[in-house]
Amino acid sequence: MDKREFIQGCAITAAMLPFAHINSAMAALMPNTQRRLAPALNKGDTVALVCPSKAVDDKLDIQIAQEVLQALGFKVKVGKYLTARRGHLAGTDSERASDFNQAFADQEVNAIICISGGSGAARLLPLLDYQLIRKNPKVLLGFSDITALHSAIHAQTGLVTFHGPNASASWNPFNVDQFQRVFFKRELMRYQNVRGAEDELVPRLNRTITITGGKAQGELIGGNLTVLTSLAGTPYLPDFNNKILFLEDVEEAPYRIDRMLSTLKLIGALDKIAGFIFGACVDCRPIGGYGWLTMDNIFNDHIKPLNIPAFRGAMIGHIKQQFIVPVGGMVEIDAEAGSFRLLAPVFQSV
């Protein structure tokens, strides 16, 4: 090789270096959706308590969260930056991501439980070590803003995670029973709303409404509607093809619910799903103006034309009693009955 050829070769290599870096970075975010299951939990295991989103305002909430996990039978490891604060967030993005990655890396930790939701989890998504998570599958539990973590981890690793109460949420008898049945007894759960003890002759509480009858099977994906739609156009949004989509939200006016379902329609997500479950929409009240679409209007416009099994009113979301459901678990929906059930285990076989 003469000097001219050598110089040309070096120039070509140098020109390609930025693209090699880009390709390497993109390769790290290539979806690997082979279904992964975490090992099952047992009493006496160690759980990591982390705060990926907003800071906890009252230290008493942290103490109660720790006591809840201990009462459930666990040893608790507290994230290094659990009490950190930056604005409304529980520390900087790198600090919160460090606690999260460390929990997956720690061989003593069997599960990661988020203390609260709020806002900010999506900021962590580029900082998570997805290869580490693939190699160390563990139970992840949380809801609301934690939808960003459920979605990204499922999209990038295929790991089944769990949408349910945060550690600082209400741990009433219903939620404790859900936890024990899912994690300790490892039941193939059937999720159907319970009738309240104080309900009337004809039940008014916890009612489900069939949008379109029928049954369908598929992997369960979803979570908080606002958080999920904010991931549109990113590599952290899960695949919707033949999935059962579940959604919930809080304090969003109906026109915003309409806008977000429109987004899911426009990106082609709604046309791909096999079934639809809507949970609670707490305090989703209209605001002033010339009028508004009702929730019935919105579901009739966006969901009914899909002609897939669909119902709303499931006990999922920002409510005191809530189901613990596996994101990525195989389920069958029965829209007429207003229920869905697990078809396969969601933990590694012993």
Catalytic residues: 144, 248, 318
Q: Please tell me what DSSP assigns to residue 211.
A: E
Q: Are 101 and 65 in contact (CB under 8 A)?
A: no
Q: How many Cβ atoms sit within 10 Å of the Cβ of residue 347?
A: 17
List C-alpha distances in Å: 115 to 85, 132, 201. 14, 22, 38
Q: Residue 101 and residue 85: Cα distance in Å, rounded?
A: 18
SS3 content of the chain, % helix, strand, coil (to 5): 35, 20, 45
Do 69 and 47 contact (CB within 8 A), yes or no? yes
Question: Quick check: helix, strand or coil at residue 245?
Answer: strand
Give one DSSP letter per residue of 118-163, joined into a string: SS-GGGGGGGS-HHHHHHS--EEEE-GGGHHHHHHHHHHH-B-EEE
Count of H-run helices and E-run strands, the chain:
9, 14
Query: Which amino acid would we find at residue 302?
Result: H
Can you tell me whether residue 222 is helix, strand or coil? strand
Nearest to 52 by CA among 92, 15, 12: 92
Q: How far is CA 91 from CA 5, 50, 230, in A?
A: 52, 11, 22
